[in-house]
Structure 1
Amino acid sequence: MADMNCTSDKYYTTSEFKYTFFIVIYSLLFIIGLPENIATCWYLVSNKANKRLSEAKIYMISLTLADLLYIMFLPFWIVYYYHRGNWKLPGFTCSLFGSLFYINTYSTLFFLSLISFTRFLAVSRPVKTAQFAQRNRGIGVTVLIWLCIVCCSLYILIDNKNHVNKKKNGTMSCFEDYTEKNTKTQLLVIHSLMLLAFVVTLGAVIGNYVLILRRLSTEETALRVHQHKLKKKAVRMVLTVLVIYMVCFLPYHLIQLPWMLLVLDVVHSDDCLFRRAFNDVHQVTLGLMSINCVLDPIVYCFLTEDFRRYLRGLTCYCRDKCVLGSNYLELHLITLMGIDRVNT
């Protein structure tokens, strides 16, 4: 039976599991994503990588920087959820860290779609692509994307008072409430544009994937072994990008607009069970979308064998250091134990 007293306040406080859920997922993302993205960024900006700086690498550098910018501020969100949704920092910081979430999300969407486009160019025009790295185009497009996304995010920073709201228990929520200060039309336009950005970039990735497959099927018999391997790598790379879209971004963008319609009461429902379930799913999709910051470096593995060798070498180095450190500690303990026995 529907609960006729299901209010918006109850709706926002239903997903109790989110406090533990986001603490765990953000902690894992910080522990894994920070060293992973630092290692990727270090390789991309190193002299060895810059000798062959291509358009795809320019986009990958921007993608990695966006992920790092987001990951570095995850501890503040961990503290927020540890205090059960109580924002204890100044209101401006809530808007700032929230804007980084949107900057990371939509810069990732655009840069991943552009990387898939460069792979299509490499397949369709390999000679021209090899001769002309198109650095100027890559730099120009990158600057344009950053300017557009940062300018759109300025709205969140300027309107910072609307994102921190006092709850009935006296705590302050951050990006978890929509009061009368926010107009329905304004919010619906913003979230519709977010959905449009996702659809456009997803369409570009799918289109590039289909075009690469078509190109391979028409030229497969004429391809040399070396060319065939390169083009198969391009297919795997674009397929990886597509999987990231489907796993990380598709669930959130499918549910975000309907969720917003429920929150703003544009679509009305007095069924608390349904509203709570929908809100729970929305929280899970937010967590899934955050995972992209540890999956993005995987895309780069398909661009160059050098990077895979670099990662293997780095992994072996860290493993050897850990083993040597463990052996040293064990030897030190054995020595101390031997000294103790002599003294006794």
Structure 2
Amino acid sequence: MTCTNDKLYQSSAFTPRFFVVIYSLLFIIGLPENIVACFYLLYNKANKRLTEVKIYMINLTLADLMFVVFLPVWVDYYNNGRNWRLSDRACGFFGSLFYINTYSTLCFLSLISFSRYLAVSRPLKTAQTKQVVRAVILTAVIWTGTLGASIPILITNSNHTNKRPDSKTSCFENYCSDNESERSRLLIIHSIMALTFAVTFGVVIANYILILRKLLIDKVALSLPQGKLKKRASRMVLMVLVIYSLCFLPYHIIQLPWVVYVLNFTKPGDGTFRKSFNDVHHVTLGLMCINCVLDPIVYCFLTEDFRQYLREWMGYLRNNCVLKRQKSQTIHS
């Protein structure tokens, strides 16, 4: 059985509607949310100091913003019954952005958890300038790595789209091939993606365990002024762990077996099993995308600094409205 029959991609009729709804909601919520988070991180007068964790947060916001801005393209794709109406090269570009966001996000979240561990374990041992330099270097490595891994896809103008028997064109779903080397290449790529997730997830888990261990051993320090900072660091890493478990873990549990299945490395099951397997894969993909609206909540919106920033901003807008109203009344009186 080959992909020309499109049988391995059979799924329930709800999946296009599912993606239209979830991508539309993520765009409506995520766009203003990430813009506000970006302004907060870049222009908050109360905290202008550039720190290691702030550099990671800014880049994480930019990655999420890049993902959210292009969601309408995928809404159109699924709203037309998985029919790609742009060029093959555009399919490769937007598909690449999807994975650039996913794996840069994983790396930045793991680095945020690592920097929080350092804040708890040895807050005074590393000079601030060295922390910033380290963050800049690691950020450059992440963007270079994710963009570099996507270059072969971006410069290739083939195999991004696939004509289906229903005369519609799929985008970035052409996993099937009669070419053994091509199938092996795709399996290697997705294995590397799964390994990237496993490594970064392991880093987050290890950092949280180490932070808890440090706090349990050093209970006296929690009563000191630095104790509040340590508790906040612990909560942030816990929330990062929640994002990994809720958004990324289900997808990466199902993704590699799904790829092995659609590449026809295993004997295909019956039609009911194919639909169920593909439905689960689609749902986990939707769950993974939710991270773009959860990230700003975790590292911005739940902090007291952000709430203070929001109160000041709302007060500024309110005062401006009052002044404009008073000027208007003065002119007309």
Q: So what's the TM-score if we normalise by structure 1?
A: 0.86
Runs of 4+ in 1 over 6 A off after TM superposition: 4-7, 315-318
When Rg is computed on C-alpha atoms for both structures, the one with the higher figure is 1
Query: Do 2:176 and 2:263's aligned partners in 1 also have CA atoms closer than 8 Å?
Result: no
Query: What residue is the counterpart of 1:336 in the other structure?
Result: none
Alignment of 1:11-30 (within 5 A): 11-30=8-27
Residue 307 (str. 1) matches residue 306 (str. 2): yes
- For residue 220 of structure 1, report the CA deviation from its aligned partner: 0.5
Distance 1:235 1:76, change over 3 A: same
Query: What residue is the counterpart of 2:138 in the other structure?
Result: 141
Residue 168 (str. 1) matches residue 169 (str. 2): no
- For residue 229 of structure 1, report the CA deviation from its aligned partner: 1.8
Distance 1:131 1:256, change over 3 A: closer
Query: Do 2:2 and 2:178's aligned partners in 1 also have CA atoms closer than 8 Å?
Result: no
- 1:135-155 alpha-carbon deviations (Å, 9 max, x no partner): 111111101110010000112
1:56 aligns to what SS in structure 2? helix
Q: Which moved more, 1:297-306 or 1:273-282?
A: 297-306
Query: What residue is the counterpart of 1:187 in the other structure?
Result: 186
- For residue 101 of structure 1, report the CA deviation from its aligned partner: 0.6
**Which whole-Å CA distance do the structure 2 matches of 1:164 and 1:316 have between them?**
51
- 1:4-41 alpha-carbon deviations (Å, 9 max, x no partner): 99995133132321111001000000000000000111
2:23 aligns to what SS in structure 1? helix
Query: What residue is the counterpart of 1:266 in the other structure?
Result: 265
**Which whole-Å CA distance do the structure 2 matches of 1:316 and 1:24 have between them?**
35
Residue of structure 2 aligned with 1:113, choices 110, 134, 138: 110
Structure 2 residues without counterparts, runs of 5 or longer: 326-333
Alignment of 1:12-51 (within 5 A): 12-46=9-43, 48=45, 51=48
- 1:198-252 alpha-carbon deviations (Å, 9 max, x no partner): 0000000000001101111111034433222221111110000000000000000
Distance 1:169 1:148, change over 3 A: same
**Which whole-Å CA distance do the structure 2 matches of 1:284 and 1:254 have between them?**
12
Query: Do 1:167 and 1:173's aligned partners in 2 also have CA atoms closer than 8 Å?
Result: yes
**Which whole-Å CA distance do the structure 2 matches of 1:126 and 1:303 have between them?**
22
State the one-letter code of the partner of 1:22.
F
Query: Do 1:237 and 1:303's aligned partners in 2 also have CA atoms closer than 8 Å?
Result: no
Aligned residues: 320
- 1:158-192 alpha-carbon deviations (Å, 9 max, x no partner): 23411101111222110123242762210110000
Query: What residue is the counterpart of 2:125 in the other structure?
Result: 128
- For residue 56 of structure 1, report the CA deviation from its aligned partner: 0.3
Residue 79 (str. 1) matches residue 107 (str. 2): no
Q: Which moved more, 1:23-32 or 1:293-302?
A: 293-302
1:151 aligns to what SS in structure 2? helix
Structure 1 residues without counterparts, runs of 5 or longer: 329-344
Query: Do 1:6 and 1:271's aligned partners in 2 also have CA atoms closer than 8 Å?
Result: no
Query: Do 2:17 and 2:78's aligned partners in 1 also have CA atoms closer than 8 Å?
Result: yes
**Which whole-Å CA distance do the structure 1 matches of 2:97 and 2:195 have between them?**
19
2:265 aligns to what SS in structure 1? coil
Residue of structure 2 aligned with 1:96, choices 65, 73, 93: 93
Distance 1:315 1:22, change over 3 A: farther
Query: What residue is the counterpart of 1:159 in the other structure?
Result: 156
RMSD, matched Cα: 2.7
Distance 1:49 1:290, change over 3 A: farther
Percent identical pairs in the alignment equals 61
State the one-letter code of the partner of 2:230.
K
State the one-letter code of the partner of 2:169.
M
1:239 aligns to what SS in structure 2? helix
Query: What residue is the counterpart of 1:298 in the other structure?
Result: 297
1:268 aligns to what SS in structure 2? coil
Query: Do 1:8 and 1:263's aligned partners in 2 also have CA atoms closer than 8 Å?
Result: no
- For residue 295 of structure 1, report the CA deviation from its aligned partner: 0.6
- 1:307-340 alpha-carbon deviations (Å, 9 max, x no partner): 232245557888x79xx9xxx9xxxxxxxxxxxx
Query: Do 1:234 and 1:302's aligned partners in 2 also have CA atoms closer than 8 Å?
Result: no
Q: Which moved more, 1:156-165 or 1:42-51?
A: 42-51
2:264 aligns to what SS in structure 1? coil
Distance 1:8 1:50, change over 3 A: farther
